[in-house]
Amino acid sequence: MSLEKEKHTQPLARRLAQMSEQERQQGLRRIIQRVVVSRTTVRITLHPFGDLLVSDMNGQMEMDDDEESSVMAIEVPFTLVPRGGSSRVRLNGASVQTNGEPNAALIHAIVRGYQWREQLLRGPERSLKDFAKEQGVTPRYLMRLLRVSFLAPDILEAIVGGTQPATMTLERFRRAIPLDWSTQRQLFGFPSREPT
């Protein structure tokens, strides 16, 4: 059984929300039978909610008797999102924002990307390979930071303000990005903007 029996989990969630922290921990210990974490999902197997809910529901809980004593399993798909040397869990389908702290690596990349772009445009003509060597970086790293300098202004604002999606990390710029700002917004999970 998956989350299709959600009508049964809602009363449980309401009941848990009304409990003190200590009562909530004790109640969860009674009903959680097993938690299995795989690379892409978390599966939580619950005992029948019985003693935790019956008093609130006046015996109205409708669990099928033929389903392994009404044991319920909830599966939650997720994705691990790299973020500055660590990973964060993003529930699939969820729009997860950062915690409001600016990503220093992205801000540093923006500054260097703009500086290098200006130097390449205004300086003497040379290859990207030669320029990367002058800067003490690999051509691949140079290209990654140059890509950042072509982001839409509102995306840059979000990065500096720390409100970009959690999936937007420097790692994401290893691949080419579209130059069209509307396509960038769609790619990185930003709301589309009406032309002004």
15 and 84 part of one domain: yes
Asked whether residue 66 is domain-assigned, the answer is yes
Boundary residue ending a domain (91, 122, 138): 91
Whose CA is closest to 98, among 112, 83, 108? 83
17 and 47 part of one domain: yes
Whose CA is closest to 61, among 4, 26, 27, 10? 10
Boundary residue ending a domain (44, 66, 91): 91
Can you tell me the distance from the alpha carbon of 116 to that of 127, in angstroms, rounded to the nearest whole number? 13
75 lies in which domain range?
Answer: 3-91
In this structure, the number of other CB atoms found within 10 A of the CB of residue 96 comes to 15
- Rounded alpha-carbon distances, angstroms, from residue 48 to 7, 54, 93, 107: 14, 10, 28, 50
* Assessment of whether the complete model's pTM goes beyond 0.85: no
127 and 72 part of one domain: no
- Rounded alpha-carbon distances, angstroms, from residue 24 to 13, 32, 120, 169: 10, 12, 60, 36
- Number of domains within the chain: 2
71 and 17 part of one domain: yes
108 and 53 part of one domain: no
Tell me which residue has tokens 């959690």: 166
List the pLDDT tens digit at each of the 196 positions of the chain: 334 445 556 676 777 788 888 887 787 777 778 888 887 888 878 776 555 544 444 333 334 444 445 667 777 787 776 655 666 666 665 544 555 678 888 899 999 999 999 999 998 888 999 999 999 999 999 998 999 999 999 999 988 888 888 778 888 888 889 999 999 998 888 887 766 5
61 and 110 part of one domain: no
Asked whether residue 194 is domain-assigned, the answer is no
